[in-house]
C-alpha cells in the first residue's frame, strides 16, 4: 500500500510540473523591441505607436499575458503622442512610484509588464486621469459585433528651428550636432545691422552681429525646451560678450526667439538658473535675419577632426 501511495504521489508531482505549477502565468514571447519597453521599462517614440490614433471598439489587453487592461470607451485623445485612457478595468493595473522618484509607473497587475505612467489633475476628462500607455505594451481585441477600425495615417511632424548664440559658433555646433532629435545645423550671423555680413566684418565688432547657430530638429523626438536646456549647458551664460578666451560683442550669449512660446521658455530657464545662484546675462531677443556663415565655418570641428577649446558641457538642469 505504501508503495502504491508513493507511486501515485510521484505521478501527481510529474503532472504538476508538466503543467507548470499551480497559478503560473502564461507569458507570450516578446520581440527585442517589445522586451525593451515591457521588461526593461523603456518608452516608444511619441506619435509612432500602433494605437495612438486607433479608434476601434473593444478591449486592450496586456501584450505579455493577455490580461484585459482597458476598454475602448475609456480611450481619449490627449495629444501627448501615446494612447491615453482615463480609466482602467478594475484591478487590472498596478501603480507604483517610478524610479525617477516623481512619476507614477503603471504595470499589468497580473504579470508586471511595464505599461507607462499615470497622471492626475490635468483636467483633460471628467475623471481627471490620464493613463499614458505605450502601444507596444498592448494588444487590441475587437468586440465581435464591432467593425474593424483602421489606424489613421500619421502625418510626419513638421521640423522646427531654434536659434542660439553662445560664443564661437564652431563649439556650439559641435554639441548640437550630437544631440538627439537634431536634423541639421547651420552656423551664421544674427542680431546686427549689416546686410549679408562676412566673418571679417562680424569680427571687427562694427556690424552688431552675434555668431549663432540655427538648429533644425524633430519635435516628435525633442522639444524646444530640450534644445534651450542644452544651449545653457554647453556654454557659460554668466560671461558678458565673451566665451572663454574669445572676447567681443559677436561672442555674446543670446536666445533669438521666433515666437512667444520660445521667449517664455527661455525666460523660464533663465529664472531657474538664477534661482540656483547663476548670474545669467543671456539676452532674450526677437530673431531677425539669420545670415549663413561662409562654407568653411559649417561643421568646422567635424571636418577638422577637432574638439572645442572654449565650450564644455556642464549639467545645470
Using CA of residue 260, residue 264, residue 266, residue 270, what is the dihedral sign?
Answer: positive
Q: Which of 65, 168, 203, 310 is catalytic?
A: 168
**Which residue in this structure is represented by grid cell 500602433?**
50
- Give the closest residue to 187 by CA, choosing from 157, 166, 208: 166
Alpha-carbon span 223 to 181, nearest angstrom = 9
Question: Is 65 an annotated catalytic residue?
Answer: no
Alpha-carbon span 100 to 30, nearest angstrom = 26
Q: What angle do CA 75, 79, 82 make, to 5 degrees?
A: 60
Q: CB–CB of 207/197 below 8 Å?
A: yes
Alpha-carbon span 95 to 113, nearest angstrom = 12
Tell me if residue 81 falls in helix, strand or coil. coil
Q: CB–CB of 120/128 below 8 Å?
A: yes
Alpha-carbon span 211 to 251, nearest angstrom = 6
**Burial class for 316, CB neighbours closer than 10 Å (0-12, 13-18, 19+):** middle
Question: Is 203 an annotated catalytic residue?
Answer: no
Q: Which of 62, 108, 132, 310 is catalytic?
A: 132
Q: What angle do CA 68, 82, 231 make, to 5 degrees?
A: 150
**Which residue in this structure is represented by grid cell 504579470?**
111
Active-site positions read: 132, 168
Amino acid at each position: 500500500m505504501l508503495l502504491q501511495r508513493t507511486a501515485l504521489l510521484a505521478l501527481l508531482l510529474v503532472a504538476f510540473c508538466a503543467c507548470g505549477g499551480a497559478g503560473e502565468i502564461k507569458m507570450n514571447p516578446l520581440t527585442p523591441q517589445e522586451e525593451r519597453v515591457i521588461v526593461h521599462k523603456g518608452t516608444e517614440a511619441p506619435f509612432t505607436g500602433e494605437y495612438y490614433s486607433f479608434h476601434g471598439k473593444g478591449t486592450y489587453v496586456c501584450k505579455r499575458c493577455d490580461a484585459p487592461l482597458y476598454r475602448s470607451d475609456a480611450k481619449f485623445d490627449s495629444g501627448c503622442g501615446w494612447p491615453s485612457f482615463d480609466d482602467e478595468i478594475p484591478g487590472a493595473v498596478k501603480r507604483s512610484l517610478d524610479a525617477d522618484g516623481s512619476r507614477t509607473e503603471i504595470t499589468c497587475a497580473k504579470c508586471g509588464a511595464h505599461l507607462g505612467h499615470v497622471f492626475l489633475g490635468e483636467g483633460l476628462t471628467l475623471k481627471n486621469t490620464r493613463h499614458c500607455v505605450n502601444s507596444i505594451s498592448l494588444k487590441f481585441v475587437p468586440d465581435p459585433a464591432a467593425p474593424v477600425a483602421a489606424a489613421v495615417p500619421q502625418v510626419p511632424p513638421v521640423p522646427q528651428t531654434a536659434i542660439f548664440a553662445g560664443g564661437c559658433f564652431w563649439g556650439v555646433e559641435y554639441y548640437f550636432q550630437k544631440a538627439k532629435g537634431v536634423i541639421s545645423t547651420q552656423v551664421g550671423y544674427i542680431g546686427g545691422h549689416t546686410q549679408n555680413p562676412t566673418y571679417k566684418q562680424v569680427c571687427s565688432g562694427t556690424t552688431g552681429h552675434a555668431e549663432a547657430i540655427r538648429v533644425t530638429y524633430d519635435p516628435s523626438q525633442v522639444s524646444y525646451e530640450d534644445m534651450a536646456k542644452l544651449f545653457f549647458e554647453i556654454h557659460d551664460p554668466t560671461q558678458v560678450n565673451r566665451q572663454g578666451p574669445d572676447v567681443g560683442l559677436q561672442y555674446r550669449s543670446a536666445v533669438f526667439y521666433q515666437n512667444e512660446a520660445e521667449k517664455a521658455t527661455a525666460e523660464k530657464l533663465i529664472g531657474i538658473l538664477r534661482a540656483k545662484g547663476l548670474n545669467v546675462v543671456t539676452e532674450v531677443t526677437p530673431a531677425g535675419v539669420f545670415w549663413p556663415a561662409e562654407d568653411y565655418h559649417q561643421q568646422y570641428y567635424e571636418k577638422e577632426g577637432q574638439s572645442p577649446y572654449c565650450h564644455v558641457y556642464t549639467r545645470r538642469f
